């Protein structure tokens, strides 16, 4: 669990490059600067940890590119103490960014291997993230409602269960689309229960697995 001066220096450079690409939320940048991303990927690939690129984490999945993590987090407009549901725990890095920013994080992973490994890592690193093995399409009705919901895999549909589990005034961020490239959407639940949608550009994610996605 070493976090050396070299790692910290590389993180500063990473933060500068993300800032240059347009991320302005200082709370997001500060979280990325403090979290040792190298601990979330296989230790034989240390040199890739602080490049602004996605990286394989096993089970056919990836840890998202740091810029994408920052972009999705910025769209969430996170406040301290908010209840946040993440779909797709993966390596646990995104969940740690949310926790570092003071959110109460609930994260669902569909694949047991990743779930088990990441749960252990997050607990060793002392991040207060509640992890669940399950299908993100269903959300976590027992823990709803959430202030924020973040989907970190490509979704061919916007799951109604997740909209139902969002508080009025809440925000859901989702890479939406059936093709190789998705549109990043930010949906806001109005007080009358209707949804407003904004588009925030094209991104490339691995698809959600399950009933509606590919398995």
Among 15, 87, 99, 173, binds ligand SAM (CB under 6 A): 87
64 is catalytic: yes
> Closest separation between CB of residue 116 and ligand SAM, Å?
12
Query: Could you give the CA distance from residue 156 to residue 175 in angstroms, rounded to a whole number?
Result: 9
Among 23, 62, 75, 122, binds ligand SAM (CB under 6 A): 62
Query: Could you give the CA distance from residue 2 to residue 140 in angstroms, rounded to a whole number?
Result: 34
Among 73, 152, 165, 182, binds ligand SAM (CB under 6 A): 152
Q: Alpha-carbon Rg of the chain, whole angstroms?
A: 16
Query: Could you give the CA distance from residue 178 to residue 214 in angstroms, rounded to a whole number?
Result: 10
Name the residue nearer to ligand SAM (CB basis): 84 or 209.
Answer: 209
Q: Using CB under 6 A, which residues numbered 196 to 215 contact ligand SAM?
A: 205-206, 208-210
Cβ atoms of residues 128 and 101 within 8 Å: no
Among 64, 73, 131, 182, binds ligand SAM (CB under 6 A): 64
Strands (E) in 11-145, as ranges, are 55-58, 61-63, 83-87, 104-109, 129-133
User: For residue 26, what are its two tokens?
Assistant: 């200082």
Residue 137 as a binder of ligand SAM (CB under 6 A): the answer is: yes
172 — phi, psi (to 5°)? -125, 130
Residue 68 as a binder of ligand SAM (CB under 6 A): the answer is: no
Residue 94 as a binder of ligand SAM (CB under 6 A): the answer is: yes
Among 37, 70, 82, 136, binds ligand SAM (CB under 6 A): 136
Residue 84 as a binder of ligand SAM (CB under 6 A): the answer is: no
The DSSP code sequence of 60-92 is TEEEPPHHHHHHHHHHHT--TT-EEEEE--TTS
**In the complex, residue closest to ligand SAM by CB:** 88
- Catalytic positions, please? 64
| List of residues contacting ligand SAM (CB under 6 A) | 61-64, 87-88, 90-91, 93-94, 108-111, 114, 135-137, 152-153, 205-206, 208-210
């Amino acid at each position: 669990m070493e976090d050396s001066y070299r790692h910290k220096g590389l993180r500063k450079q990473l933060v500068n490059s993300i800032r240059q690409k347009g991320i302005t939320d200082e709370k997001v940048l500060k979280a990325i600067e403090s979290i040792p991303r190298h601990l979330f990927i296989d230790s034989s690939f240390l040199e890739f940890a602080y490049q602004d690129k996605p990286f394989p984490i096993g089970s056919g999945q990836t840890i998202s590119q740091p810029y994408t993590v920052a972009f999705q987090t910025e769209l969430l407009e996170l406040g301290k103490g908010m209840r946040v549901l993440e779909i797709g725990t993966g390596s646990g890095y995104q969940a740690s960014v949310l926790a570092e920013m003071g959110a109460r994080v609930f994260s669902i992973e569909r694949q047991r291997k990743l779930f088990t490994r990441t749960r252990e890592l997050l607990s060793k690193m002392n991040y207060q993230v509640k992890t669940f093995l399950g299908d993100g399409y269903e959300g976590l009705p027992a823990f709803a409602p959430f202030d924020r919901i973040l989907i970190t895999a490509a979704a061919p549909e916007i799951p109604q269960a997740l909209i139902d589990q969002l508080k009025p005034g809440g925000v859901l961020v989702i890479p939406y689309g059936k093709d190789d490239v998705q549109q990043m959407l930010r949906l806001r639940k109005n007080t009358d229960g209707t949804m407003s949608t904004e588009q925030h550009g094209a991104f490339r994610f691995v698809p959600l697995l399950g009933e509606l996605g590919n398995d």
